Amino acid sequence: MTLIDKDEPAAAASAAPAPAPSADSAPSAKPAGGPLAGSERVSRREPSAVLRMSEAEAAAIGGDPQDPDDDELVLLNMGPSHPSTHGVLRLMLELSGETVLRSKPVIGYLHTGMEKTGESLSYLQGGTNVTRMDYASPLFNELAFSLAAERLLGVEAPERATWIRMLMCELNRVSSHLLFMATNGMDLGAVSMMIYGWREREEVLRFFEKVTGLRMNHNYIRPGGVAADLPADWRDDVAELIELIEPRLAEYDTLLTGQPIWRERLQGVGVINTAEALALGATGPLLRSTGMAWDLRRDEPYLFYDQVDFDVIVGSYGDCYDRYAIRLNEIRESLRIVSQIIEAMPAGDYRIQDKKVTPPPRARIDASMEALIHHFKIFTEGFKVPPGEAYAAVESPRGELGVYLVSDGSATPYRVHVRAPSFVNLQTLPHLMAGGLIADGVAVISSVDPIMGEVDR
């Protein structure tokens, strides 16, 4: 467990040097969330950070004749078409000047019904559906779905397939956090960070394309293993990625971590404590920023995470700065895990050799009619799964991502439900934004790092 000290640079978990904080780098004295202290208007209207009114009520709201300042309150819509809401998210804000008193996230603009759609798709087709929910880290969706399906089937992926899954997911965590670094920098005016984060992420996606054939929405992790083995030169490719990205993280520290304006925009903004985060069901960097070291990879190990060495990065203050620093250092920890996977990767099968679940090798289809029929039936009818229910959870870049499956014995799930971390974490926004400025709201939304595809699934 690594603790982030506000007086230390974000590179505390790394040997890379970072600029020493200046006298201007002290934690900001900005409001730390919750209703404005001493504001009678807030307490008289509602002792909550959440704006609990319908759109009709908001449209019909009138001034309070007993409150001479009530006409200064403004209801403002931020989004859904806004570059800083990270997708089609709408926020209803109750403002006093530029101060946010209460807010209400409004979702549903991207609703696709993926969970219901999953009940009409076979277990083999399910990966093509769930991979599109969190499009910044699609491999985690595929992994959670496959683990749940394998629990119903009572099978385990081969050892090599498990290590391949870990390799791909940790690289996907790196690409997702690089995307956060890029967009978080853009939201706060650090335009250069958008260019640099995108540049490094591109190299990871190029490796994904080489392995899976696609840059995103891969359908690579499937029940029973993975779709294809790693290419022959994968070790060289991954080593080059590590060699490229690690020194760039030190450059991010130089660019952002010790920068007084960056610290002023993030420190003391969007504060939440452990009790509040747990009460709201928050997980991932949002929960760890409060100082609680909860990571499913360590606390409820899956795959082979109990065989690798890594630190769980936690914060001290639960603010936007901690969430930035945690994600920056989690990139380092993921690269550390990937380095160990390179050494530990065994030979063997990349999927189970069970004809009821696994299609035949491509070469056999051209030579055997039985193999052709087997292939046709697997991909048209799917494989039947014993009746039962199963839940599998993984630590995605945004928190606990879980898939709950109910089987009635057929080739398609009877029920599919996804515990999406972005959906749960989004309900912290009113509590994080209350008492802050509109400009701070942009930083808060970015620090939560929501992906609206899994919110409106």
262-306 residue pLDDT tens:
999 999 999 999 999 999 999 999 999 999 999 999 999 999 999
Instruction: Find where tokens 């509590």 sit.
Output: 431
SS3 61: coil
SS3 170: helix
Closest CA to 229 of 324, 185, 164: 164
R_g of the chain, CA atoms, integer Å: 24
Query: Are the beta carbons of 139 and 168 closer than 8 angstroms?
Result: yes
The count of C-alpha atoms lying within 13 angstroms of the C-alpha of 47, restricted to the half-sphere facing its C-beta, is 1
Token readout for 308 is: 């690798």
What is the length of the chain? 457
Count of other CB atoms within 10 angstroms of residue 195:
12
pLDDT value at residue 225: 95
Tell me: the pLDDT tens digits for 305-333? 999 999 999 999 999 999 999 999 999 99
Query: Are the beta carbons of 175 and 364 closer than 8 angstroms?
Result: no
Please, which residues have CB within 8 angstroms of residue 66's CB and are 6 or more apart in sequence? none
Count of other CB atoms within 10 angstroms of residue 1:
11
Predicted confidence band at 18 (pLDDT cuts at 50, 70, 90)? very low
Adjacent-strand bridge partners of 404: 391, 417
Predicted confidence band at 51 (pLDDT cuts at 50, 70, 90)? confident
Going from N- to C-terminal start, the domains of the chain cover 2-30+110-354+380-419
Predicted confidence band at 197 (pLDDT cuts at 50, 70, 90)? very high
More confident residue, 56 or 439: 439
Q: For residue 397, is pLDDT > 70?
A: yes
Q: For residue 10, is pLDDT > 60?
A: no
- In one letter, which amino acid is 99? T
Pairing relationship of beta strands 99-106 and 90-96 according to DSSP bridges: antiparallel
Predicted confidence band at 5 (pLDDT cuts at 50, 70, 90)? low
Please state which architecture CATH assigns to domain 2-30+110-354+380-419: Orthogonal Bundle (1.10)
